[in-house]
Amino acid sequence: MSYTERSHLKYSEKLIELFKNPKNVGEMRDATVTVTEGSPVCGDVMQLSLKIEGEKIVDAKFLSFGCAANIATGSVITEKVKGLSIKEAEKITMNDVAKELGGLPPIKMHCAVLAAKALKKAIEEYKAKVLEKNESH
């Protein structure tokens, strides 16, 4: 019996695969920006790091302290943003993340929200850094 058959939650095969073999996990020592976002709903926390060069996201990593859906959404968000411009990455929504996983059980949609919020927060912090740097010159 597979995990999805044993679980009361209807997880997609893609979500299970990304839970078992997550992508882009780890700390990024040369990150342009690193943020932490958490969910009081279930205690899930995600740290998201982006390396940005010339307004383009060249690398992304995450650390997750949470459930299978949190780990999978971290993998999805980091894969989706690599190679995108800041403007393109800003358009990614929680629905894009959930759709990439073949959907999420309603009780786990907060994980897609968490990933999208972490990305939004990272971009906002990056923009603030750039603005601050430009104002000091």
Active site residues: 42, 111
Asked if 122 and 35 count as a contact pair (C-beta separation under 8 A), the reply is yes
Burial of 121 from C-beta contacts in 10 A (0-12 / 13-18 / 19+): middle
**Residue 45 bridge partners (DSSP):** 38, 65
